[in-house]
Chains A and B, each alone.
Chain A
Amino acid sequence: MDALKNKARELLAAKTVQVVIGYGRGSGGAARAVFVREASKADTLVFDDGCRQNLAVYLMKPEVRKLGKAALVAIPSTLRAVLQLAAENQVGEHDLLALVVTPAGEVVQLATLQAIEAHVASLDPDLSTAEKEELKKYEALSLEQRRQFWQEQFSRCLKCYACRAACPLCYCSRCTVECNQPQWIPVPAHDLGNLEWNVMRAMHLAGRCVNCGDCHRACPVGIPLYLLNQKLISDVFANFNFRSGMAVKTDNAMSTFKPNDSEDFIR
């Protein structure tokens, strides 16, 4: 942890970056995001297994962008989110650098997007065995069981859009749910709108989600949004052989095509 604090201090003192976005201690000792802008405040930084939030989410917030170049304390999903944002032309070479804390407590500085790409290449983007098994379990349910399961889950949705706020890739400045001519999604937390919102959120992340799980952790009523994301991640890979957040320049799964994409349902 000292290595991280020293690195942050060094970067801020040399004005290489204007802000270090990292983890600090919040209420109850939980990890929370901190924005360190002065070298003297670098001691607030911590790093442990509880640091799971994908801090790439802040890269797209206008109030954070305004601060200047950021050093981002990054876990694997953070790096993939950064690459995905770069592939979508949302962050550039000069917006950030990433700090990866190794299991030994050392800090690796990834100063360019290419360096991040090279680092990410050593990660396995596949779903874990446990995730695959859980997905299979739900896929194996009958149609009616799945319908009832999701209706029950979505019935708790409050339409608070915490899933959207927590997601590094849900960055549109004007979201369809705020669009009211036409009103695509009914405003109240109601069965129909809840289903439509959750379908839309999942679909708009198809081929983009990096499976950080922050939407699910942000959900105040515990809707297993990760299942929807992982279903789409698995389908996109099975059909298009595509993994999001692995390269700076890439043809995104849903904004490109292959003439020989195959399906068995179009007659």
Chain B
Amino acid sequence: MSEFSPKIVAFVCNWCTYAGADLTGTSRMKYSPQVSIIRFPCTGRIDFMLLLKAFANGADGIIVSGCHPNDCHYSSGNFHARRRWIVFRGLLDFLGIDVRRVQFSWVSAAEGAKWAQLVDATAGNIRQLGPFSDYQRLRRGLGVG
């Protein structure tokens, strides 16, 4: 049997992390290919429901990343997002959802190397945790959604 290849969805902001990930590529740095990047205008736009939808649609792990504090293109989107993640993470944990499957990070447009490390480290962690079958099982019997 082949090794488990995790599906990782990365929610990133347009201005910092997306550009950072672009830099990783243009710098020819190699990193785990299991990540699918979704670009958002800002981390402030990343609703917690989008994370739940990613899990429901088969993600084994999630990366959420944006500009460092004080670097937000819209000046405060990432601060609002930080509050949201503090609360959301506590709630997920309380509900018995393994928060190690959601990795939050700040990656700037200059941190191409950090992006590669982040994805590799997250892919490694998720590989150890295995498929998120507890969550994917919730979909059973549901035609659409």
Task: List residues of chain A with CB under 8 Å of any chain B CB.
Answer: 138-139, 143-151, 176, 183-184, 186, 188, 190-193, 195-196, 199-200, 202-203, 206-207, 227-228, 231-232, 235-236, 239-240, 253-259, 261, 263, 265-267
Contact = CB atoms under 8 A, between A and B. Distances in A.
A185 to B, nearest CB: 8
Interface stretch (B5-13, B19-27, B34-42, B90-98): B90-98
A236 B106 contact: no
28 contacts: A146-B94, A146-B95, A146-B96, A147-B134, A148-B96, A150-B96, A183-B144, A184-B53, A186-B145, A191-B139, A192-B138, A192-B139, A195-B95, A199-B48, A199-B52, A199-B91, A199-B92, A203-B87, A206-B87, A228-B91, A232-B91, A235-B86, A239-B83, A240-B83, A254-B83, A261-B82, A263-B86, A266-B82
Contact of A257 (B82, B140, B144): B82
Interface string B76-90: 100110111111111
B111 to A, nearest CB: 12
B40 to A, nearest CB: 16
**Chain A interface main SS type:** helix
B138 to A, nearest CB: 4
A74 B105 CA distance: 45
B1 interface: no
Given A186-B142, A206-B87, 7 more contacts: A143-B96, A146-B94, A146-B96, A192-B142, A195-B138, A235-B91, A266-B105
**Chain B interface main SS type:** helix
A254 to B, nearest CB: 6
Given A254-B83, A257-B82, A196 B49 contact: yes
Contacts of B53: 184
B104 A254 contact: no
Interface of B: 48-49, 52-53, 56, 69-70, 76, 79-80, 82-99, 103-106, 118, 134, 138-142, 144-145
B106 to A, nearest CB: 6
Nearest to B53: A184
A143 to B, nearest CB: 5
Contacts of B49: 176, 184, 196, 200
B140 A191 contact: yes
B87 A207 contact: yes
Contacts of B134: 147
A236 B87 contact: yes
